[in-house]
């Protein structure tokens, strides 16, 4: 297999991205634009990068140390892209790579978790002054950007790609849900049938994890701080309990909040021997990793699984060092949902270069028009057909 094999495998599964790429290439709207992309560096992202470049953009790539697919990173270098990504890079090296990436002076940042946007605001204010704007992929990134904007600290317009319906309704639920649950099974060679799986957080990712775990026979318990979401979990057939209560008989815990400290040391201490701890969507910051490491060095019990001995005497097994499971130990989200999400990213870059050029700082939604365009393109590919809006239906919708 060639290094690029996985990139080529993904390409035909991304028909929407292909059509968006063709559209941008034809319009010339992003020709000459310097686009810095900092997403999970894997085969689907590679197809976005190649599509942007084919549309005339100058593409610069950054990838995190924990999620970068090394073969893809090197394959992109071979194709002439500037890549700032090394899997397993040390803390210091990570900082060097991130700063070198920003030093290339991108006009637009395509970001994941708002890591680069925040870093640029803190360390490279001159870049922020000249940028057209940025796009953000995740819930975890949009939240701090809104907080920044509320405090008047945000200096650029940001398109919240995550908040598009064709993103969070699909990517977060079906993509992250399926791939994180399956990555756990691949890593552990265990079953979910009959196991008690505690899902912390019932946002879109938590909902997807809970659904897929239940589909595989798990008994799902959801812990939530939002009463409406908790009620929704109840209606979806899951048991709802505080994490402190649920901890006592948890066999698998999926943190799916995107929030630091979602699972506390005290809660982990209540968990039974052999509990598996992992993160879906967010990162290790959701788990009490510092506490676990303070207990003594973890012992690798199999690839991707580290065992810590709790004060209670029980053993807690952390999967993928607590990093988002599907990216750290699998191939990320499925191709189909990334076709939607990454097509939106390409359209958002185009949007910043055209209609949104010169907009004041703020967090902006993807327009409903682009959402519809992406959904319709995918439906066409699936051979589905839509009911046309007749004059009578149109009138009915407007009547009051």
Closer to another protein by CB, 2 or 399: give it. 2
CB of 302 to another protein, least distance (A): 5
**Closest C-alpha to 238, from 218, 217, 221, 256:** 221
CA angle 371, 375, 381 (to 5 degrees): 150
Among positions 109, 161, 335, 374, the unique one binding another protein when judged by CB under 8 A: 335
Stretch that binds another protein, among 96-104, 107-115, 181-189, 263-271 (CB under 8 A): 181-189
Q: Is 303 in the site for another protein (CB under 8 A)?
A: yes
Query: How far apart are alpha carbons 292 and 250 in whole angstroms?
Result: 17
CB of 129 to another protein, least distance (A): 40
Among positions 45, 64, 69, 178, the unique one binding another protein when judged by CB under 8 A: 178
**Phi/psi at 345 (5° precision):** -60, -45
Among positions 136, 336, 350, 371, the unique one binding another protein when judged by CB under 8 A: 336
Closer to another protein by CB, 83 or 181: give it. 181
Query: How far apart are alpha carbons 193 and 206 in whole angstroms?
Result: 19
Q: Is 248 in the site for another protein (CB under 8 A)?
A: no
Closer to another protein by CB, 296 or 358: give it. 296
DSSP letter, residue 324: B
Is 344:164 a contact under the CB 8 Å cutoff? Answer: yes
Among positions 21, 106, 157, 334, the unique one binding another protein when judged by CB under 8 A: 334
Among positions 46, 230, 332, 377, the unique one binding another protein when judged by CB under 8 A: 332
Interaction with another protein in 270-289: which residues (CB under 8 A)? 274
Among positions 54, 100, 147, 190, the unique one binding another protein when judged by CB under 8 A: 190
Closer to another protein by CB, 13 or 365: give it. 13
Structural tokens at position 186: 């691949």
Q: Alpha helix (H) ranges present in 151-304?
A: 165-167, 177-188, 204-215, 227-235, 243-246, 265-269, 289-294
In the three-class reduction of DSSP (H, G, I as helix; E, B as strand; rest coil), residue 34 is classed as strand
Is 189:319 a contact under the CB 8 Å cutoff? Answer: no
Q: Alpha helix (H) ranges present in 322-399?
A: 325-329, 335-353, 368-381, 391-398
Q: Is 90 in the site for another protein (CB under 8 A)?
A: no
Stretch that binds another protein, among 76-84, 112-120, 127-135, 334-342 (CB under 8 A): 334-342
Is 193:217 a contact under the CB 8 Å cutoff? Answer: yes
Query: How far apart are alpha carbons 39 and 115 in whole angstroms?
Result: 10
Stretch that binds another protein, among 8-16, 48-56, 157-165, 346-354 (CB under 8 A): 8-16
Among positions 80, 194, 360, 388, the unique one binding another protein when judged by CB under 8 A: 194
**Pairing assessment for the beta strands 362-365 and 252-255 based on DSSP bridges:** unpaired
Binding-site ranges for another protein (CB under 8 A): 1, 5-6, 8-10, 12-13, 43, 174-175, 178-179, 182, 185-186, 189-194, 212, 214-217, 274, 300-303, 305-306, 330-332, 334-337, 382
């Amino acid at each position: 297999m060639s290094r690029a094999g996985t990139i080529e495998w993904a390409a035909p599964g991304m028909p929407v991205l292909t059509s968006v790429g063709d559209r941008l290439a034809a319009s010339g709207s992003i020709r000459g634009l310097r686009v810095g992309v900092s997403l999970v560096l894997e085969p689907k992202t590679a197809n976005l990068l190649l599509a942007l470049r084919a549309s005339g953009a100058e593409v610069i790539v950054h990838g995190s140390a924990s999620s970068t697919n090394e073969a893809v990173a090197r394959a992109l270098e071979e194709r002439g892209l500037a890549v700032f990504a090394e899997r397993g890079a040390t803390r210091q090296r990570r900082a060097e790579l991130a700063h070198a990436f920003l030093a290339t002076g991108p006009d637009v940042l395509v970001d994941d978790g708002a890591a680069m946007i925040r870093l640029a605001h803190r360390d490279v204010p001159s870049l922020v002054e000249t940028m057209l704007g940025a796009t953000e992929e995740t819930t975890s990134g949009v939240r701090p950007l809104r907080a920044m904007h509320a405090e008047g600290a945000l200096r650029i317009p940001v398109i919240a790609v995550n908040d598009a319906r064709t993103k969070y309704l699909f990517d977060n639920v079906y993509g992250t849900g399926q791939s994180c649950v399956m990555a756990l099974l691949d890593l552990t060679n265990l079953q979910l049938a009959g196991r008690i799986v505690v899902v912390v957080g019932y946002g879109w990712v938590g909902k997807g994890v809970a659904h897929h775990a239940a589909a595989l026979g798990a008994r799902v318990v959801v812990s939530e701080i939002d009463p409406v979401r908790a009620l929704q979990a109840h209606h979806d057939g899951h048991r709802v309990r505080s994490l402190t209560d649920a901890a006592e008989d948890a066999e698998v815990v999926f943190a799916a909040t995107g929030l630091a400290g979602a699972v506390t040391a005290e809660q982990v201490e209540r968990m039974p021997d052999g509990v598996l701890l992992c993160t879906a969507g967010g990162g290790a910051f959701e788990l009490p990793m510092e506490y676990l490491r303070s207990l003594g060095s973890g012992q690798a019990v199999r690839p991707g699984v580290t065992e810590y001995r709790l004060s209670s005497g029980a053993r807690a097994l952390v999967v993928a060092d607590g990093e988002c499971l599907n990216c750290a130990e699998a191939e990320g989200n499925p191709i189909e949902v990334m076709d939607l999400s990454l097509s939106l990213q390409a359209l958002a870059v185009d949007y910043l270069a055209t209609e949104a050029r010169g907009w004041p700082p703020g967090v902006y939604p993807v327009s409903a028009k682009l959402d519809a365009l992406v959904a319709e393109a995918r439906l066409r590919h699936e051979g589905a057909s839509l009911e046309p809006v007749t004059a009578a239906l149109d009138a009915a919708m407007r009547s009051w």
